[in-house]
Amino acid sequence: MRHHKLALCADHFIEWVVQQTQRSIEKYEMFSRDKRILVAVSGGKDSLSLWDILLELGYKADGLYIDLGIENNDYSETSLEKVLQFASAHPEAHLHVVDVKALYGESVPEVASRVRRGKGKPCSVCGLIKRHEMNRVTLEEGYDVLATGHNLDDEVAVLFSNTLHWQTGYLARQAPVLPEASGLARKVKPLCRFYEREVAAYALVKGIDYIHDECPFAVGAKTIYYKTLLNQLEERSPGAKHQFYLNYVDARSHQRIRFAEDGESPPEMHPCPRCGQPTTAPGLCAFCRLWERKE
């Protein structure tokens, strides 16, 4: 690991990843030992490794898989298989599976093509559905916190994009922890200090079987292009990504970077009359409006 000037054998690498995760949990005060954690697992290396690490550390961590019904390359089916395989090897943890089509009548690509949002790609509808369902299950099943597998490369790409476009509203909210708010579960990203290849190495050494393919709709996404650019930067200056993100998070937590949004009271929210989740929209929330048919 050039950026850390550190070289470890397989056993010590695993130990290092587990210890560093515990350090992040403590540094950002993500959760304590007594909390019930719900890990959102996609079947990819990051979220399955996160679940593995939290169980390794002795946390009470269950999983949530959201079946989006993406049939291209059997993406959702294969992802589910990987998650089920992991869960069956960890009987101490419970897995919740939400099947979007079974629950709401349409898969993510189906609802996205009906509402025609997002220029022919289902990604924005998909993000909306995932956020809603993650929040719903976390609260309904009485979990204290929702954990996602976002790694350093994911966070850096988002930070880069938000900085490039000076989206201060998004910048103000980008952090390893999003505190609980009325109707919104607490959200944490315990792997945010690991490079993607470190997490991949963890999964490989631990023998975690995961889906290697990206979502078929992610092809050509802006964030993938930003990741390529940032990898070139990292190649020339090892540690650049780490510094860019962690110095930002540090400066934010010590209020050395401030945005106009910081002082503002959050926009007026009311519970959606159908699902009860908070929304700024008048009437139904954006999620519930997806399922309103106009015929």
- Answer yes or no whether residue 275 interacts with Zn ion by CB under 5 A: yes
Sequence-ordered list of residues with C-beta below 8 angstroms from that of 204, at least 6 positions apart, any chain: none
Rule CB under 6 A: choose which of 30, 68, 199, 201 binds ligand AMP.
68
Q: Give the binding range for ligand FES (CB under 6 A) out of 27-35, 160-168, 211-219, 265-273.
A: 211-219
Closest C-alpha to 292, from 280, 274, 278: 274
Contact status: 217 vs ligand FES (CB under 6 A): yes
Q: How many CB atoms neighbour CB 194 within 10 A?
A: 25
Residue 43 to residue 96: CA distance in whole angstroms: 13
Q: Does 288 bind Zn ion (CB under 5 A)?
A: yes
Q: Which partner in ligand FES, Zn ion, ligand AMP, none is near 285 (CB below 5 to 8 A by kind)?
A: Zn ion
The single residue among 24, 47, 174, 277 that binds ligand AMP, judged by CB under 6 A, is 47
Indicate which single residue of 25, 40, 129, 230 sits in contact with ligand AMP (rule: CB under 6 A): 40
Per CB under 6 A, the list member of 109, 122, 149, 176 interacting with ligand AMP is: 149
Q: Does 196 bind ligand AMP (CB under 6 A)?
A: no
Q: How many whole angstroms separate alpha carbon 178 and alpha carbon 187?
A: 5
Taking CB under 6 A as the rule, does residue 45 contact ligand AMP? no
Which residues have a Cβ under 8 Å from the Cβ of 139 and sit 6 or more positions away?
183, 185
Q: Which stretch binds Zn ion (CB under 5 A): 9-17, 50-58, 199-207, 277-285?
A: 277-285
* Binding of ligand AMP by 64 (CB under 6 A): yes
Decide if residue 134 touches ligand FES (CB under 6 A).
no
For residue 178, the SS3 value is strand
Decide the pairing of beta strands 186-188 and 177-178. Answer: antiparallel
**Chosen from ligand AMP, ligand FES, Zn ion, none, partner binding at 64 (C-beta under 5 to 8 Å by type):** ligand AMP
Strands (E) in the chain, as ranges, are 36-40, 60-67, 95-99, 145-147, 177-178, 186-188, 270-271, 278-279
CA distance 40 to 149: 7
Shortest Å distance, C-beta 76 to ligand FES? 9
Residue 215 found at the interface with ligand FES (CB under 6 A):
yes
Which residue stretch of 40-48, 105-113, 198-206, 249-257 sits at the interface with ligand AMP (rule: CB under 6 A)? 40-48
Cα–Cα distance measured from residue 173 to residue 147, given in angstroms and rounded to the nearest whole number = 16
Q: Which residues contact ligand FES by CB under 6 A?
A: 68, 122-123, 126, 215, 217-218
